[in-house]
Structure 1
Amino acid sequence: MEKIKALIKKYYEGLSYLFFGGVATLLNLVLFALFQAVFGTDFATGAGNVLDNAICILFAYWTNRTFVFRSKNTGKAAWAEFGQFVSCRIFTMVLDQVIIWLGVTILAPHVAFAAAHGELWAMGVKLFSQVIVIVSNYVFSKLLIFKKK
């Protein structure tokens, strides 16, 4: 039991990032699917994707600051941290949007499966995009935003 506790303590940051990142990704995918079901794929891959990313950015900041990186910054330093976090997440949101646009608008018309199963194709593109976004977000968070001083 002590070995397990030691491993958890040693790898806490990575494990907690995976857990809370997974929750944020699940929230992102659920909102995407909800928007797709209620408003259609065009909305979900456009304005809905931006909206669900904005919601998830706020959720991710709170969980990353509080549970993953355990930031102790206050005042101006906390606001600077928040600004860096949002700036980096806006970058990855744009990356997400570009991947979705390429996959759904540019690539889909040339793929038979996409033509037959547009909503499922869009969700697959979103899942692919999330893998790239998660890795990018971790690198930004670890190296730029919540770096240990």
Structure 2
Amino acid sequence: MITKYIQKYQSLIEYAVWGTCAFLINLSVFTVLDVWTPMNYQIANAIGWLLATTFAFFTNKLWVFATHATSLKSLLREMWSFYFFRVVTLLMDIVILFVGISLLKGNDIVVKLIDQCITNVANYFFSRWYIFKTIK
């Protein structure tokens, strides 16, 4: 019974595991740069995003959705699609942080945690239904 459940939701479970790792990379880099350096929080966010997104591309490709590009063109298309949709959620990320930190004067780390929960859900849907589903 549990095996059937795991098989049915395997990609979601794997995405949760690897997504948590990417989440921790993003949050850790953001926190270190935001708290321990005089860097602007948006720049710290962009650096954390770049590192986490690169990590997420490879883990999503190899283990979560297990796509196998058969050519360089296919691989580049997959990568382009992945980064395109991640830039969409990066824009969400930037707006959420701006509203939460600059306008509402919220705690940087708390706002970042809330932001990451929202953008990670969006990232899963983009990855599951647009990026790795349509690329062959």
Q: Give the TM-score normalised by the residue count of structure 1.
A: 0.84
Following superposition, the deviation at residue 9 of structure 1 comes to 1.9
Structure 1 residue corresponding to 2:118, chosen from 100, 116, 132: 132
- Secondary structure of the equivalent of 2:66? coil
Distance in 2 separating the partners of 1:74 and 1:124: 42
1:47-66 deviation per Cα after TM superposition (whole angstroms, max 9, x unaligned): 11101101111000000001
Q: Is the 8 A contact 2:30 2:47 kept in 1?
A: no
Instruction: Indicate the percent of aligned positions where both proteins have the same amino acid.
Output: 32
Structure 2 residue corresponding to 1:7, chosen from 2, 5, 8: 5
1:105 alignment partner AA: S
Does 4-13 or 26-35 show the bigger shift? 4-13
The aligned counterpart of 2:88 is 91
Unpaired segments of 5 or more residues in structure 1? 109-113, 115-120
Unpaired segments of 5 or more residues in structure 2? none
Q: Give the TM-score normalised by the residue count of structure 2.
A: 0.91
Structure 2 residue corresponding to 1:104, chosen from 90, 101, 104: 101
State how many pairs are aligned: 134
- Secondary structure of the equivalent of 1:72? coil
Q: Is the 8 A contact 2:22 2:52 kept in 1?
A: yes
Distance in 2 separating the partners of 1:101 and 1:67: 34
The aligned counterpart of 2:28 is 30
Following superposition, the deviation at residue 37 of structure 1 comes to 2.5
Structure 1 residue corresponding to 2:49, chosen from 47, 50, 53: 53
Query: Which one has the largest radius of gyration?
Result: 1
The aligned counterpart of 2:108 is 122
The aligned counterpart of 2:76 is 79
- Secondary structure of the equivalent of 2:69? coil
Distance in 1 separating the partners of 2:42 and 2:35: 14
1:8 alignment partner AA: I
